[in-house]
């Protein structure tokens, strides 16, 4: 059945991810999952793997010790042996514990073997603040992952993309870091039944516009759409682009949008300093300098550890109002 003909239903991002993993485990017996607390009755911290133990048993839903380096090392060994592991690192803050396995081992296998060996593995991890979880459980570290040659980095913001990108990631021949924003887990949207994939490196235009381009991902992608609707009421027509994947990144769609609007605001939840928005801003200014009517502006969270206090946490995080202010400034300055 073609994707256009598939029946759709409304479901949460959490359930779309769960369905993708469940279906792919049923389709391909090389696929298995491993991580902390992922077996029933817990199903992981946000229950994405809930129910998989009943379906596929403990040989394919593997409960691990609290050892992130052990989880990734085991997944890499399995991938090299011909399996397709989905390794869960509970929170992206904990990626530091296993980064040697990630950036020195998994990411370098294809290069160091001269293309003879690949590491088809998915590293699922949760990112983002807003849950009053404190400084060590609330970071957005996607720029760190993007800085490592050999890794692909995915950040979905809709149920449709979550399922389609997860299926693509599992079938990919290289390691994919699949970053899920916890605040979006319960966001609902239309999602096709059955099998379909979303290609890596193909952005989605969430809203068309002529006055300013907004590039935003993760939690700030739907916030950017909401900001654009608010701006429209004030007479500013903003275009919203959701990259969906950061590596590979769809620069063609971004550049085409900037050449149309002449302005760009890049928005992400990660802190401003060293954020991936700077990479996009620099590349746009290199490739589309002649089209820009003003400087590229960035919306990002404050350069501070995430506070435990909920009011302080909300104050330091990038929000819809910050996108509105940046676009208004971009249009007003040009």
Query: Would you please indicate which residues are annotated as catalytic (active-site) residues?
Result: 137
Map tokens 């909401």 to a residue.
226
Q: Which residues contact 78 (CB under 8 A, 6 or more apart)?
A: 32, 85, 121
- Residue 41: is the preceding peptide bond cis (ω within 30°)? yes
Contact between residue 326 and residue 149 where contact means Cβ atoms under 8 Å apart: no
DSSP strands (E only) in the chain: 8-12, 31-35, 61-63, 84-89, 122-127, 152-154, 176-181, 188-192, 204-207, 212-216, 238-242, 245-247, 264-271, 297-301
β-pairing verdict for 264-271 and 212-216: parallel
List, in sequence order, every residue forming a beta bridge with 299; answer none if it has no partner. 267
Q: d(Cα 52, Cα 228) in Å, to the nearest integer?
A: 39
Give the C-alpha distances (Å, rounded to integers) separating 318 from 130, 137, 306: 11, 17, 12
């Amino acid at each position: 059945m073609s994707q256009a003909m598939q029946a759709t239903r409304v479901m949460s991002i959490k359930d779309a991810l769960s369905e993708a993993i469940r279906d792919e485990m049923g389709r391909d017996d090389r696929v298995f999952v491993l991580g902390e607390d992922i077996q029933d009755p817990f199903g992981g911290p946000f229950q994405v793997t809930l129910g998989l133990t009943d379906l596929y048993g403990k040989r394919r839903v593997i409960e691990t010790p609290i050892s992130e380096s052990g989880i990734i090392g085991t997944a890499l060994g399995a991938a090299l042996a011909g399996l397709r592991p989905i390794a869960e690192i509970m929170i992206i803050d904990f990626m530091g514990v296993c980064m040697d396995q990630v950036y020195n081992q998994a990411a370098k296998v294809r290069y160091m073997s001269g293309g003879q060996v690949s590491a088809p593995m998915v590293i699922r991890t949760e990112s983002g603040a807003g849950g009053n979880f404190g400084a060590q459980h609330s970071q957005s570290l996607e720029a760190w992952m993007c800085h490592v040659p050999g890794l692909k980095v995915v950040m979905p913001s809709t149920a449709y993309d979550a399922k389609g990108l997860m299926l693509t990631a599992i079938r990919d021949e290289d390691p994919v870091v699949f970053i899920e924003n916890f605040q979006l887990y319960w966001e609902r949207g239309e999602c096709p039944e059955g099998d379909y994939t979303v290609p890596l490196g193909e952005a989605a235009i969430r809203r068309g516009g002529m006055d300013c381009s907004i590039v935003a991902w993760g939690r700030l992608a739907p916030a950017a759409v909401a900001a654009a609707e608010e701006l429209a009421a004030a007479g500013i027509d903003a275009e919203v682009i959701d990259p969906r994947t950061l590596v590979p990144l769809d620069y063609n769609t971004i550049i085409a949008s900037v050449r149309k609007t002449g302005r760009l605001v890049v928005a992400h939840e990660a802190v401003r300093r060293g954020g991936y928005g700077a990479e996009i801003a620099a590349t746009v200014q290199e490739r589309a300098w002649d089209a820009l009517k003003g400087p590229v502006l960035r919306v990002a969270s404050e350069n501070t550890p995430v506070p435990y206090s909920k009011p302080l946490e909300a104050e330091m995080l990038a929000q819809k109002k910050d996108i509105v202010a940046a676009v208004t400034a971009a249009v007003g300055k040009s």
